[in-house]
């Protein structure tokens, strides 16, 4: 049969706008949730993480929100810049393991 | 500081040939991970080591794949014999903090 590739969700924003990238997770036993950024031709790069007992964590221009009730994770990027254009992956670490389980990714395009 | 080093960066080989991918983790990191990334399946963990010992190899596709870590500064991923469906980008990552993995630039493998 015909193979089907992953169709990444895409988000297109204007430079200077704020971006919100969303992710749903399924495992309540995960104790860390993480966001990675992957630029074209490069390996994924750690952005920020959040422990499962927290709701919000802020970094430089980025904020991660965790809603355990609906198993939802989001990454907010303030004042988005062209250099933020990349694929963003959420990942989770399950308790007692070092194994990261990655989501499918969202492609962010920042228009000048 | 040098990050994770992978070699070769690109490998083109014929079906049936043996392929060896190499990785040098960041000095001082005690965990090492091998991932495969394809459009169809996304980013998949193949195997990871902690203190040079394989901990979880449940992601290794089949017996054609093997990985070793003879010391703290070197690991190999071998495919023998290679098949066209093994074509992918293979990443090595290392960490000292389980949720923050540092990825290498990847090896793009093409099996014809």
Residues of B engaging A, defined by a Cβ cutoff of 8 Å? 4, 31, 33, 39-43, 45, 48, 50, 55-56, 91, 93, 95, 98-106
Nearest Cα neighbor of A22 from A38, A9, A13 is A9
CB B36 within 8 A of CB B90: yes
Please tell me which of the candidates A42, A44, A98 has its beta carbon nearest to residue B48. Answer: A98
B26-52: pLDDT as tens digits: 999 999 999 999 998 899 999 999 999
B87-96: pLDDT as tens digits: 999 999 999 9
| H/E element, B23 | strand B19-24
Task: Specify the range with the lowest mean pLDDT, choosing from A1-10, B29-38, B54-63, B100-109.
Answer: A1-10
CB contacts, 8 Å: B39 with chain A: 5-6
CB contacts, 8 Å: B104 with chain A: 43
Could you tell me the pLDDT band of residue B1, with boundaries at 50, 70 and 90? low
3-class DSSP state of B112? coil
Q: Whole-angstrom Cα distance, residue B17 to residue A4?
A: 27
Which 69-88 residues of chain A touch chain B by CB within 8 A?
A: none
For the segment A45-54, the average pLDDT, to the nearest whole number, is 96
For the segment B60-75, the average pLDDT, to the nearest whole number, is 95
Q: Percent of chain A having pLDDT more than 90?
A: 77
| Token representation of residue A21 | 């990238």
> How confident is the prediction for chain B on average, in pLDDT?
96
Q: Do B45 and A42 touch (CB under 8 A)?
A: no
pLDDT value at position A46?
96
pLDDT value at position A14?
97
The CA distances from residue B111 to A17, A26, A85, B66, B81, in Å, are: 42, 35, 30, 17, 10
For the segment B55-72, the average pLDDT, to the nearest whole number, is 95
Please tell me which of the candidates B42, B45, B50 has its beta carbon nearest to residue A100. Answer: B45
pLDDT value at position A3?
37
State residue B42 phi and psi, 5-degree precision: 75, -145
Among chain A residues, the shortest Cα distance to B90 is held by: A43
Q: Percent of chain B having pLDDT more than 70?
A: 99
pLDDT value at position B98?
84
Q: Whole-angstrom Cα distance, residue B111 to residue A65?
A: 42
CB A34 within 8 A of CB B95: no
Q: Does A98 reach chain B within 8 Å, measured CB to CB?
A: yes
Could you tell me the pLDDT band of residue A6, with boundaries at 50, 70 and 90? low
Q: Do B106 and A42 touch (CB under 8 A)?
A: yes
> How confident is the prediction for chain A on average, in pLDDT?
91
Q: Is the pLDDT of residue B25 over 70?
A: yes
Q: Do B55 and A45 touch (CB under 8 A)?
A: no
């Amino acid at each position: 049969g015909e193979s089907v590739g992953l169709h990444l969700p895409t988000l297109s924003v204007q430079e200077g706008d704020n971006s919100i990238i969303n992710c749903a997770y399924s495992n309540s036993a995960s104790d860390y949730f993480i966001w990675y950024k992957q630029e074209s031709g490069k390996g994924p790069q750690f952005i920020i993480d959040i422990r499962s007992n927290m709701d919000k964590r802020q970094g430089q221009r980025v904020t991660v929100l965790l809603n355990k009730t609906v198993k939802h994770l989001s990454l907010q990027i303030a004042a988005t810049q062209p250099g933020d254009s990349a694929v963003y992956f959420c990942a989770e670490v399950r308790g007692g393991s070092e194994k990261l389980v990655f989501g499918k990714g969202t492609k962010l395009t920042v228009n000048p | 500081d040098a990050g994770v080093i992978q070699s070769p960066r690109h490998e083109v080989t014929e079906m049936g040939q043996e392929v060896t991918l190499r990785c040098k983790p960041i000095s001082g990191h005690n965990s090492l991970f091998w991932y495969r990334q394809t459009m169809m399946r996304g980013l998949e963990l193949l195997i990871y080591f902690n203190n040079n010992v394989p901990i979880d190899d449940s992601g290794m596709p089949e017996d054609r794949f093997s990985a070793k870590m003879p010391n703290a500064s070197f690991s190999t991923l071998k495919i023998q014999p290679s098949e066209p469906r093994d074509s992918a980008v293979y990443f090595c990552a290392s960490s000292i903090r389980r949720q923050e993995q540092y990825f290498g630039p990847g090896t793009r493998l093409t099996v014809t």
